[in-house]
Structure 1
Amino acid sequence: MQPEELFGLALGIVPPWEVTSVSFSKESSRLDITIDFQRGASFPCPVCGALAPVHDTVEKQWRHLNFFQYEAYLRARVPRVKCPNSGCGVKLVQVPWARAGSGFTLLFEALVMTMSRDMPVNVIATLFAVTDKRLWRVLDSYTELARSREDYSGVCRIGIDETAARRGHEYVTFFFDLDRRKLLFGTEGKDNETVTRFVADLKSHGGAPELITDAAIDMSKAFIKGVREQLPNAAVTFDPFHVIKLMNDTLAKVRAEDARSFPEILKKSRYLFLKNPENLRPEENERLDAILASQNLKSAEAYLHKLNLQNVYFAANRQEAETLLTQWCRAAAKSSISLIKKMATTVKDHWHGILSHFDSKLTSGFLEGINSLIQAAKARARGYRNPRNLITMAYIIAGKLNFKSLYPQPT
């Protein structure tokens, strides 16, 4: 079997295309495979599909999978056809081994898509000696195409979460389907306009904002405003995670104030207060008990308020939860600690959303799990200069998009 025939079979080249030459250069570390079409061949018009004769050709080149450690390229004269049907004109034929406008073969792009789940794009770019911008264009193209085929007509319960593309830099907001446990939409920013953009995207995929019955969000005023304006039938749920996180933030501030006055007692005690009691090691539990027994520590009172607030979420139903939350608010409002009083006011201001959890049973556990995967990808990439890249990677990780139908799978 001749090399041309062998590579033709390996590449899946079928008539009227054929491999006409194969050249290898060790000096330039590359393999060039030339493909051409048979004389007299006709091709379907890219516009109407009618067979049309070749008008002229354009020389093109595509990067292919590496041949061992060497770069491999496909080269071909790509025909332009002049369609006999009026209105079509002269059009460039679509080759079967690459996307229109791409400088990579389908198999190369399939491998990049597969690797991008576990490797930073700049590392993949270095491995294949291409720029990361070119690879991001590949990821963006497939993500946009896969998302264009998504159907959101069944979406009725959503979760909203935001994260920073880089530490202290631009934020992005993600919208999730809590029933199908997948990412629906990502957008830059964290204001109420993010909800407006989500609704527009939802409609473009067959969804209806009036069918959204529940929205699990944090206590962001922007998200609250956006949901009320754009999702008129959605009951807002403030997830337990965000409520307890806010309480933990309050406790941390109280402990920090105490630590300045009692440094020896509270040295390296931050995580003792943040951990749940059942997660403490015996020696940690012993030290925390000693701290709580100390005199004049506001931290001890704040810690008890935290435990009592957590106990609200062990209630069997909304009625019991409301009773416990009422008792907690009364006790917190009488506290001599201003930060605890402020927390009580915050709980009252978000009363219905907090108690809505006991009706909807929505939690952000899934969102936090997905966010940890996104954060891991961000850490591997050492942050994303462009927030759009973070959104694209989030779709790849959490969008449950059907990429396999878009390109051949690498074997």
Structure 2
Amino acid sequence: MTAGAGRTGRAGRAGSVRFAAAHTLPVLVRGFVSARPRTGRGHAAPGRPRWSAATLRALRARHGGAPVLVRGLTGTVLLILDPQDVRQFYAEPVDTLALASAPGAPDGCAHAGLRAERRAVDDAVLAAGLSVHPSCGPFLSVLAEEARRLTAGGSLELARARHVVARAARRIVLGDAAAEDVELTRRLGRFHDKTGARIAAYAADAEPHTLVGRARRHADPTGSLDPVGQARQWLSAFDLVPGLMLRTLLLLGAHPAEQSAAAAEAREADAAKGALPRLRACVRETLRLYPAVPDLIRITRAETEWRGVRHPAGTCVLLPALFHQRDPERVPAAHVFVPGRWASPEAARDIRMAPFSHAEGRCPGEQLGLLVTAALCAEVLRGHRVHGVRPALDPLGPLPAALEPQGIRLRLTRR
């Protein structure tokens, strides 16, 4: 079938049940358990995510690629399955297609509902679009100091990675005085006045190079900005880094040639300047394979048209980002770790792959996130070789559809 204008598919009851069972329910379960430590295998049962991809491919084939209305566990959603509609999804202004919370989704990039002045502060403080942050020097020093704890004992797992990244995050966002405040990090998930007061106290004395120090330099003539809330948002965004770092190092451990090249880059003089293009490509490729948010969910704030069909305000629109990024029909070597695909500047604008989203919805912390994660990986690789202990990955075969960071165990040996 060929997708055309003037049509929207509608899944029948059987199709909706299959979608809910194979896609929506696993996403809800992953979101529920992701915040809870657990042991066991490093990836989910291979069948479940693949059922989801097969279900989405079947819906796309049945409806000719047109958007499909599907009844999920929480109501009807408009499912985006074709590149033509993916392009429109990213092109719609954020005040028309607004962010909606999803189970397990972080709010570090959730700026769609923020006022323009808050987004302007985010862009300036996080240096959106600049590959090397203006505070790169102090930030790299912090990361180098904290990363020494990563390699102690010859192994690396999630608890240690979280501890190291949380310390670095407090120093980068709030300053060195906050380094030891573990309780502050614990309280971020249940924000209240005392937490806000602690953040405000650190912010008042923070060094100029920190994120809150940079934010202090921005005028707030209307008094509508929320510096404490933004600092909390920046701190929370660092929660993604430990898992991303472990996945990247695990993949490099399974690909010795890539690891050797990344380690060589980490030892070059330019690494001290934060460039690290090869390691940044490795981090992007890890996010392509294992995105932080597998599904992008939006709510229309006005009537929108998809393929000539008008949908009312309040329509829930779901773009399965993981499905598109690992779609073998449209992405070469979709299930293989190929960092070289990011060598071209065009790759960052390829709508098939959206680790940090696109257009107005693009995450302002993209470059800072890449800098932090790549720099931490570089600190590990500079003096150590990574051996993936668990889970075992086949570098030639398709990679598993999911990698739970709780189950990753790495062995480190000195070079």
TM-score by length of 2: 0.28
Q: Which has the higher strand share?
A: 1
TM-score by length of 1: 0.28
Q: Which has the higher helix share?
A: 2
Larger radius of gyration: 1
